[in-house]
Amino acid sequence: MSAFQIIYTVIGGLGIFFYGMKMMSDALQATAGDVIRRVINSLTTNPILAVLVGTGITMIVQSSSVTTVMVVGLVNAGLMHLTQAVGVILGANIGTTITGWIISIKIGKYGLLLVGLGIFPALFAKRESWKEAGKVLFGVGLIFMGLETMSQALKPLAHDQGFLDSISYFSGQHYGAYIASALVGAALTAVIQSSSAMLGVTIALATTGVVTHQTALALVLGANIGTTITAVLAAVGTGLNARRAAMAHALFNTLGSVLALAIFPVYAHFIEVINPADPAFTTANGDRPNAAIYIATGHTIFNIAMAVLFIPFVKPFSALVVRLVPEKGVANEDNKKFVLVGSASDVLPATAILQAEGESRKFGDIVGRMFNLTYDYIMEETKDTHNLAKIKSYETITDNIEKDITLFMSQVMQKELTPTQSVDSQVIIRLADELESCADYIEKLALSETRFSKEATWDEEAKEDFEELLRKVKEFYFLVFHMIERIETLDKNLVVKRRDEIKLLANDIRDRHMKRMGEDRYEPIESALTFSDMIVSLRKIAAHTSNLSQALSRGEDK
């Protein structure tokens, strides 16, 4: 087999492996998406529980990178604390070791059988659960086919003296070789951004005898460092806590790998001792079947040991991360960016929905601060133009947020969603639309105020009417907003009662307004138009606030 044939066959096998991993992962996510969401919502500050959650989620999604990007996103959305995130990251490193065990099962020759068994339910089954089960089988079959293809392509290299000489340094039994192998593993994993793929390649190299099992173990340690690049890239441009979560992942994996490399001869020998079969055993055709079990065992022991070692120090470790990624200057809440971590095509639907829900709460908070500022601006004797400029700035921010949420959730809705996830996605888009409409009319309310001339006045009755309605609408908005923050507090009857009260009050104010106009009590008469516009704006804000409650009700009733 020529060098070109080896290269394209390995790349082709890796492509099949990648696609199989993705199909299996997507199918598992589709069946367990709602479970993942409930598990995340149940997180506490207990680090052991967080580790178990991280382990379980990663075993489902089959990717520690997906889990850590999810963690960065949830921290960025304010749905997870840094200490929780550290615990989940520790668990993610344990959960990803299941991939090594799947790969180490020597049933590569049955890959085609699994593909055949899986494709028919995946394409023709009517029940969704059978479809997803078929996709899982199909994906696992592709994984084994990809590994088998890579292994067959790499076999000639085990007998190519020129190639073996070129990599002989990495097979040396000294620290220079261990460190060099780890660096290569880190670099390759950073490029392909998948520790699972790197693990597959490493096992293929070791089982065909191209590299020794010790070299393979060092490559895997390096892959633990390289896989952190995904979360680091995802955290670029995000909030402070999200960057800290990414730093925690990178720091933990790097420290753990460095520690293992420092005692590598002892570590490698220990894995040999606890393995019942000799990893260096070679069959007549040159294969080393036991190397895969050795690598999977080493990968698992390393990550469990690191988690056990770090669990008692989660809080001090989190404090160290905070010191390494300090807050620069005073945070400007008024210009808080809306950031969803990861693209819709890569993020789990359950995670995307959780992130968007968290950002919707931030959106509601921004509209609330805009309302408070507008209230103060209207009520103050001397109008501050700086406050009006801030109100306009808020409105621009809300326009951008509404657009971003709608585009992001539209992309999420194009993926395979459960009925619950589909309803949740629609609710989020509706919330964004109603919040942005509230912001539009709040700005309109402030701008209407600027139409007053210095000579324009309302009599006391008009002022009292307007201020009473303004106060009640503002209270109504914050009543519903707090229900957005905590859906379990949703009280539909209370919302309807307050909405109806506002409607009755607005109708009474309109009647009194018409009476005052007939009595020529506005000076100048244009101020009557301003009064009418501001009352209309308040009614619109109340209506869109009521719509927020309706959207929440649909989400609650799903």
Residue 331: pLDDT over 60: no
Q: How far apart are CA 259 and CA 462, in angstroms?
A: 74
Where does a domain end: 324, 347, 369? 324
Would you say 341 and 73 are in contact if contact means Cβ atoms under 8 Å apart? yes
Residues 539 and 417 in one domain: yes
User: What pLDDT shows up at residue 190?
Assistant: 87
Q: What is the mean pLDDT of residues 8-36?
A: 78
Would you say 391 and 445 are in contact if contact means Cβ atoms under 8 Å apart? no
Where do we find the tokens 């009557």? 528
Residues 273 and 364 in one domain: no
Would you say 57 and 66 are in contact if contact means Cβ atoms under 8 Å apart? no
Choose between 326 and 298: higher pLDDT: 298
Q: How far apart are CA 247 and CA 241, in angstroms?
A: 10
User: What pLDDT shows up at residue 544?
Assistant: 94
Residues 88 and 207 in one domain: yes
End-to-end CA distance of the chain: 58
Q: What is the mean pLDDT of residues 43-56?
A: 79
Q: What is the mean pLDDT of residues 522-545?
A: 84
Q: Which residues contact 292 (CB under 8 A, 6 or more apart)?
A: 100, 103, 104, 106, 203, 206, 207
> Residue 172 — pLDDT band, cuts 50, 70, 90?
confident
| 112 token code pair | 């085609």
Please calculate the CA angle 346-88-328 and round it to the nearest 5 degrees: 80
> Residue 475 — pLDDT band, cuts 50, 70, 90?
very high
Q: How far apart are CA 21 and CA 499, in angstroms?
A: 51
> Residue 20 — pLDDT band, cuts 50, 70, 90?
confident
Residues 436 and 288 in one domain: no
Name which of 58, 72, 132 is nearest 100 in CA terms. Answer: 58
Please calculate the CA angle 266-270-274 and round it to the nearest 5 degrees: 175
Instruction: Pick the most confident of 40-54, 99-113, 321-335, 436-450.
Output: 436-450
Please calculate the CA angle 457-462-463 and round it to the nearest 5 degrees: 75
> Residue 346 — pLDDT band, cuts 50, 70, 90?
low
Residue 335: pLDDT over 50: no
Name which of 264, 175, 249, 159 is nearest 208 in CA terms. Answer: 159
Residues 224 and 116 in one domain: yes
Instruction: Pick the most confident of 93-97, 195-199, 234-238, 371-375.
Output: 371-375
How many distinct structural domains can be found in the chain? 2
Looking up residue 502, the CATH number of its domain turns out to be: 1.20.58.220
The residue range of the domain holding 362 is 335-557
Would you say 494 and 523 are in contact if contact means Cβ atoms under 8 Å apart? no
| 434 token code pair | 């109603």
Residues 228 and 366 in one domain: no
Choose between 454 and 176: higher pLDDT: 176
Instruction: Calculate what percentage of the chain has a pLDDT beyond 90.
Output: 25
Name which of 386, 330, 397 is nearest 363 in CA terms. Answer: 397
Residue 453: pLDDT over 50: no
Residue 61: pLDDT over 90: no
Of 83-92, 231-240, 528-537, 539-548, which gets the smallest average pLDDT?
231-240
Q: Does the residue 138 lie in any domain?
A: yes
Q: What is the mean pLDDT of residues 215-237?
A: 86
Residue 19: pLDDT over 80: yes
Q: Which residues contact 543 (CB under 8 A, 6 or more apart)?
A: none
Residues 526 and 441 in one domain: yes
Q: Does the residue 476 lie in any domain?
A: yes
pLDDT in tens, 175-193: 898 999 999 999 988 887 7
Where do we find the tokens 């490193």? 93
Please calculate the CA angle 21-24-30 and round it to the nearest 5 degrees: 135
SS3 readout for 133-188: HHHHHHHHHHHHHHHHHHHHHHHHHHHCHHHHHHCHHHHCCCHHHHHHHHHHHHHH
Q: How far apart are CA 236 and CA 225, in angstroms?
A: 18
User: What pLDDT shows up at residue 260?
Assistant: 93
- pLDDT mean across residues, the chain: 83
How many Cα atoms are found within 13 Å in the side-chain-facing hemisphere of 119? 8
Q: What is the mean pLDDT of residues 441-461?
A: 73
User: What pLDDT shows up at residue 74?
Assistant: 77
**Is 108 strand, coil or helix?**
helix
Residues 374 and 441 in one domain: yes
Q: Does the residue 393 lie in any domain?
A: yes
User: What pLDDT shows up at residue 111?
Assistant: 80
Residues 302 and 353 in one domain: no
Where does a domain end: 296, 324, 352? 324
Q: Does the residue 411 lie in any domain?
A: yes
Q: Does the residue 313 lie in any domain?
A: yes
Residue 499: pLDDT over 50: yes
Residue 32: pLDDT over 80: no
Q: Does the residue 357 lie in any domain?
A: yes
> Residue 108 — pLDDT band, cuts 50, 70, 90?
low
Q: Does the residue 269 lie in any domain?
A: yes
> Residue 438 — pLDDT band, cuts 50, 70, 90?
very high
SS3 readout for 65-92: HHHHHHHHHHHHCCCCCHHHHHHHHHHH
Residues 21 and 126 in one domain: yes
Residues 290 and 198 in one domain: yes
Would you say 525 and 516 are in contact if contact means Cβ atoms under 8 Å apart? no
Would you say 147 and 103 are in contact if contact means Cβ atoms under 8 Å apart? yes
User: What pLDDT shows up at residue 333?
Assistant: 46
Angle at which helix 82-95 crosses helix 240-262, to 10 degrees, equals 40
Q: Does the residue 330 lie in any domain?
A: no
Where does a domain end: 275, 297, 324? 324
Q: How far apart are CA 173 and CA 85, in angstroms?
A: 37
User: What pLDDT shows up at residue 554?
Assistant: 65
Residues 270 and 407 in one domain: no
| 207 token code pair | 């089982």
Q: How far apart are CA 508 and CA 462, in angstroms?
A: 12
The neighbouring-strand residues paired with 523 are 457
